[in-house]
Amino acid sequence: MEFRYLGNSGLKISEITYGNWITHGSQVENDVAGQCVRAALDAGITTFDTADVYANTAAETVLGEALAGERRESLEIFTKVYWPTGPGGPNDSGLSRKHITESINGSLRRLKTDYVDLYQAHRFDTETPLEETMQAFADVVRSGKALYIGVSEWTADQIRAGAALAKDLNIQLISSQPQYSMLWRVIEPEVVPTCEELGLSQIVWSPIAQGVLTGKYLPGQPPPEGSRATDENGGSFFIQRLMTDDILNAVQALKPIAEDVDLTLAQLAVAWVLQNPNVASALVGASRPEQVVENVKAAGVTLPEATMVAIDDVLGDVVVRDPGMTAKSAPAGRPT
């Protein structure tokens, strides 16, 4: 396993982060989830990412139990706040002082830890003053409940405003967690340059594009039984926009490129995002321990320039690059 600094901080994280969105607490049984976490630890992964909204807090509980007994100082544990949790009351979502304060306490309890290494705003809250949000995050840091602050799916302008307030409050905003893959490059024109300027790194989710970049989905054929595309509890809704023949045909054309560098398609996809110097880590999940073992092989890989060019040539127009998609994908108001 290789390690990279997270933003302009002294914190190092593993190039592969194990994330438990969708899987833990919903898609896979707890004993299998525990096996996946053990496989991650055995492979050298030290960084684990979750969120209170995943399986309505159950994912944090599963991760906390799976990591129990490990040396806390040897781990980097990340979680997030914003989306509705609990029964969905008027203050059970967003980035108000009330919700942040209550959410960090619940997350720490479920994760069985006194602090998280990174506490992230899971989206931008259009209904709470940013000053209130950043002051609440500052208080979380000063209380020792989080070491650093990050954001997820914020636009470049939102990141810039948040970073300015963080600087005024003397806390470290060090990361952005956006979707990023060969097929989804919307962060490249604006978010990445802004983060490079301000000293933030990317921790990218869905580098394998919901599994589409494994090549297991074939054009003109039904998805394999038991795959994410067939599982309503496993994210079938999120994968639908990728299940077009144009995209699936392009992905199949990547196979010889992966073979040329002795990687599987999934490994090529993870290695590709790690070629971006602003990316500190690629988030990967798993429903089986073997998937963790395979994905970790992308760490430390340097892809030749010819390979990067060949990937661009094959994917062509199926790549989404519009920086406006970050804002378009965000909720217009606080979810309930």
Q: How far apart are CA 178 and CA 163, in angstroms?
A: 16
In a domain, 336, yes or no: no
The pLDDT value recorded for residue 240 is: 77
In a domain, 110, yes or no: yes
pLDDT band (50, 70, 90) for residue 24: low
148-183, pLDDT tens digit by residue?
Answer: 999 999 999 999 999 999 999 999 999 999 999 999
CATH number of 57's domain: 3.20.20.100
In a domain, 335, yes or no: no
Say whether pLDDT at 7 is over 60: yes
Assign 282 to helix, strand or coil: strand
CB 162 within 8 A of CB 134: yes
**7: closest CA among 273, 277, 271?**
277
To the nearest whole number, what is the mean pLDDT of the chain?
A: 92
> What angle (nearest 5°) sits at the alpha carbon of residue 44, between those of residues 304 and 173?
80
Say whether pLDDT at 197 is over 70: yes
**234: closest CA among 223, 250, 218?**
223
Say whether pLDDT at 25 is over 60: no
pLDDT band (50, 70, 90) for residue 230: low
In a domain, 334, yes or no: no
pLDDT band (50, 70, 90) for residue 60: very high
Looking at the 3D structure of the chain, how many domains does it have? 1
Of 29-38, 104-113, 168-177, 255-264, the range with the lowest mean pLDDT is 29-38
69-84, pLDDT tens digit by residue?
Answer: 999 999 999 999 999 9
Tokens coding 244: 């077009």
Q: How far apart are CA 315 and CA 301, in angstroms?
A: 21
The count of other CB atoms within 10 Å of the CB of residue 232 is 7
- Positions marked active-site: 54
The pLDDT value recorded for residue 205 is: 96
Say whether pLDDT at 296 is over 80: yes
In a domain, 138, yes or no: yes
For residue 79, give its domain range. Answer: 3-328
Tokens coding 285: 């999940």
pTM over cut 0.95 = no
Say whether pLDDT at 229 is over 60: no
In a domain, 259, yes or no: yes
In a domain, 333, yes or no: no
The pLDDT value recorded for residue 251 is: 95
pLDDT over 90 percentage in the chain: 78
